[in-house]
Amino acid sequence: MCASMFLRLIGVYEVTRMWVTDSVDVPDEILAAAKKGKLVIFVGAGASYDPPSNLPLFTGLAEKLANEQNVPGPTKEEERSLDQFLSRLPDTVNAHVRTVGIIKNSGGHCNSTHEAIVHLALASGHPRIVTTNYDLMLEDAYETLRGEKPKVYDNRALPRAGFFEGIVHLHGSILQPPTEIVLDAKDFGSAYLMDGYATKFLVSMFREYTVLFVGYSLSDPIMRYLMAAPDPEAQPKYMFVPSDFESDQIKDLVDRQIHSIRYLLQVSAPKHAELPRSLQAMADILQDDYSSHKEKMLELVRQGLPVKFKQASEVRHAIATEDGAKAVVKVLSSLPLEEQTQWVRWLLGEQLLGSLINKDEPSTPAERYMANWLTKLFCQRENQDLFIDILIGHHHIGNWIVRPCCQEIYRRLSAGDEWAVRTYAIMYGVRNKMAHRLPRPQSLSFEGVLKAGLPAPLMLNLMSLSLEFRLDPSRERCVFSLTEPSVDIQRDEHDEIESIPEDSILLSPRAVEFADMYLRQASSLYVSVGISNLNYFIRSAIEPHKRNAGYDYYDERLFHVCVNILRDYATRHPEEQDYLIGEWWNSGLILFCRLAIYLVGITDWSASAKIHWLTERRVLSEPQFGHEVHRALAAALSQSLKDDRDYLLGYLQMMVNDGEDHIAGTSAVFQLVDWCLRHLPQSIRWQEGEEFRRSLSQKYGYASTVDSDLVVPDVEASIYSPYSDELRQLILNRPQDFIALLKNPDNLTDYLPSSPYSKLTWQITDTVSRHKDVGIRIWTLITENVSQEDQVRPLLSAVIDGWALGAYRPDEDKAVAEFICTQLREAKQTRLSIPPRAASSYLHMISNYLKDLDEKERIQLDHLAQKLWCEKIEDQSYAIDGYAREGLYVETGSKLPGQIAWYWIRRIIDKDGVTVGFTAIEKERLLQLINVTGCPSVLTHAVFLFNASALERIDSRFTYAMLKVVLSTDSLEAIWSALLYKMPPTRKLVKRELFASFIDLCDEFEYLSRDLQRRALHFAAIMLNDYNLSRARRSRLLRGSIVDASHPDRVVNFMEAIAEGFLSVTDRRRLQIWRKWLHGFLEDRAQQIGGTRDEKERRWLATIVPRLGNDIREGITVLGELPEFDGDERKVLELLFSDTICFDSMDEQSKAVLADYYCRLLEKMPDWKRLEGLDAFLSRAQRHLSEEQFAKIKDVVRRKDLE
The rounded distance, in Å, linking the Cα atoms of 53 and 683 is: 123
Rounded Cα distance between 827 and 124, Å, is 71
Helix (H) or strand (E) holding 126: none
Domain ranges of the chain: 17-283, 303-443, 725-872, 1043-1203
Q: Please state the φ and ψ torsions of residue 528, each to the nearest 5 degrees.
A: -65, -30
CA atoms within 13 A on the CB side of 1184: 21
**Cβ(50)–Cβ(113) under 8 Å?**
yes
List pLDDT tens digits, range 1123-1146: 887 656 677 877 788 777 777 778
pLDDT of residue 831: 44
Instruction: Report the pLDDT value the prediction gives residue 627, as an integer from 0 to 100.
Output: 83
Distance of CA 614 to the CA centre of its chain: 51
- Per the CB < 8 A criterion, the answer to whether 378 and 402 are in contact is no
664 membership: H or E segment, kind and range: helix 662-678
Range 1120-1125, long-range pairs (CB < 8 A, 24+ positions):
1120/1086, 1122/1098, 1122/1160, 1122/1161, 1122/1164, 1123/1095, 1123/1098, 1123/1099, 1123/1164, 1124/1095, 1124/1164, 1125/1099, 1125/1161, 1125/1164, 1125/1165, 1125/1166
For residues 1113 and 1157, the answer to whether their CB atoms sit within 8 Å is: no
Rounded to an integer, the average pLDDT of 436-446 is 53
Predicted confidence band of residue 432 (pLDDT cuts 50, 70, 90): low
What phi and psi values does residue 131 have, to the nearest 5 degrees? -140, 150
Q: Are 323 and 290 in contact (CB under 8 A)?
A: yes
Check pLDDT > 50 for residue 466: no
pLDDT in the model for residue 1167: 64
Q: Is the pLDDT confidence value at 753 over 50? A: no
pLDDT of residue 151: 93
Predicted local distance difference test score (pLDDT) of residue 717: 27
Q: Which of 116-120, 345-349, 373-377, 1013-1017 has the highest mean pLDDT?
A: 116-120
Band the pLDDT of 613: cuts 50, 70, 90.
very high
Highest mean pLDDT among 326-335, 384-393, 531-540: 326-335
Considering the chain, what is the average pLDDT of its residues? 76
Q: Which residues pair with 129 in a beta bridge?
A: 41, 167
Q: Which of 193-197, 301-305, 825-829, 1172-1176 has the lowest mean pLDDT?
A: 825-829
Residue 361: per-residue pLDDT = 76
pLDDT tens-digit series, residues 1017-1061: 778 877 877 777 787 787 777 765 566 655 667 777 778 877 877
- What is the arithmetic mean of pLDDT over 912-926? 74
CA 477 to chain centre: 42
CA proximity to 1078, closest of 1124, 1120, 1026, 1040:
1026
d(CA 670, CA 651): 13
The whole-number average pLDDT for the span 647-657 is 84
Cα separations in angstroms, 589 against 294, 524, 883: 66, 7, 17
Q: Which residues contact 436 (CB under 8 A, 6 or more apart)?
A: 360, 397, 398, 399, 402, 403, 406
- The more confidently predicted of residues 1086 and 869 is 1086
Who wins on pLDDT, 660 or 56?
Answer: 56
The pLDDT, as a whole number, for residue 538 is 63
477-481 and 488-490 strand pairing? antiparallel
Average the pLDDT over 452-478 and give the result: 45
Is the pLDDT higher at 1003 or at 662? 1003
Cα(331)–Cα(318) distance, integer angstroms: 12
Q: What is the pLDDT of residue 17?
A: 80
- Interhelix angle 607-616/590-602, rounded to 10 degrees, is 160
What are the φ/ψ torsions at residue 740 (nearest 5 degrees)? -60, -35
Say yes or no to pLDDT of 599 above 90.
yes
3-state secondary structure string across 416-438: CCHHHHHHHHHHHHCHHHECCCC
How many CB atoms neighbour CB 156 within 10 A? 11
DSSP calls for 511-576:
HHHHHHHHHHHHHHHHHHTT-TTHHHHH-S-SS--TTS----SHHHHHHHHHHHHHHHHHHT-GGG
Residue 864 has a pLDDT of 72
Q: Which residues pair with 26 in a beta bridge?
A: 18
Instruction: Provide mean pLDDT across the span 1068-1072.
Output: 80
CA distance 427 to 500: 30
**Strands of 12-153, DSSP E:** 17-19, 25-27, 39-43, 128-131, 152-153
**Which amino acid is located at 1016 in the chain?**
A
User: Which residue, among 773, 740, 936, has the nearest Cα to 840 in the 3D structure?
Assistant: 936
* Listed ranges 381-395, 974-988, 1005-1019; the one with the highest mean pLDDT: 974-988
pLDDT score of 738? 74
pLDDT tier for residue 278 given thresholds of 50, 70 and 90: very high
- Measured from the Cβ of residue 733, the count of other Cβ atoms closer than 10 Å reads 10
Q: Is 468 helix (H, G, I), strand (E, B) or coil?
A: strand
Give the pLDDT confidence of 172-225 residue by residue, as tens digits.
Answer: 999 999 999 998 888 888 888 888 888 889 888 998 999 999 987 766 655 655
Give the three-state DSSP class for 339.
helix
CA–CA gap between residue 364 and residue 1033 (Å, rounded): 19
What is the Cα–Cα distance from 250 to 230, expressed in whole angstroms? 16
Percent of the chain with pLDDT over 90: 10
Would you list the DSSP string of 317-329? Answer: HHHTSHHHHHHHH
DSSP, collapsed to helix, strand or coil, labels residue 474 as coil
Residue 149 is classified by DSSP as P
pLDDT at 474 over 50: no
Q: How far is CA 781 from CA 232, 709, 765, 785, in A?
A: 66, 48, 16, 6
- Using alpha carbons, select from 487, 440, 435, 442 the residue that is nearest to residue 464: 440
Tens-place pLDDT, residues 93-128: 788 898 999 898 888 889 999 999 999 999 999 999
Query: What is the Cα gyration radius of the chain?
Result: 41
pLDDT over 80 at 658, yes or no:
no
First to last CA, the chain: 67
pLDDT at 214 (0 to 100): 94
309-319 vs 290-303: helix axis angle to the nearest 10? 140
pTM to 2 decimal places: 0.45
- Tell me the pLDDT band of 229, cut-offs 50, 70 and 90: low
For residue 924, name the pLDDT band (cuts at 50, 70, 90): confident
Percent of the chain predicted with pLDDT > 70: 74
Query: Between the CA of residue 1038 and those of 543, 1004, 1052, 1077, 1083, what are the distances in Å?
Result: 51, 15, 13, 10, 13
**Does 951 have pLDDT greater than 90?**
no
pLDDT value of residue 913: 53
**pLDDT for residue 725:** 63
In this prediction, residue 253 carries a pLDDT of: 81
- φ and ψ of 791, to 5 deg: -95, -35
Decide: 1144 and 1185 in contact? Cβ < 8 Å: no
Torsion on CA atoms 685, 686, 690, 696, rounded to nearest 10: -160
Top pLDDT among 464 and 766 is at 766
Residue 277 has pLDDT above 60, yes or no: yes
**Higher-pLDDT residue of 894, 258:** 258
What confidence tier does 463 reach under pLDDT thresholds 50, 70, 90?
Answer: low
How many CA atoms does the CB half-sphere of 602 hold within 13 Å? 21
Q: What does DSSP assign to residue 237?
A: E
pLDDT for the residue numbered 839: 60
Backbone angles phi, psi at 660, to 5 degrees: -65, -45
Q: Does residue 495 carry a pLDDT above 50?
A: no
Judge whether residue 894 has pLDDT over 50: no
Contact between residue 470 and residue 551 where contact means Cβ atoms under 8 Å apart: no
With cut-offs at 50, 70 and 90, classify the pLDDT of residue 243.
confident
Torsion region of 1173: left, alpha or beta (phi above 0 gives left; psi -120 to 50 gives alpha): left
Q: How many CB atoms lie within 10 A of CB 265?
A: 15
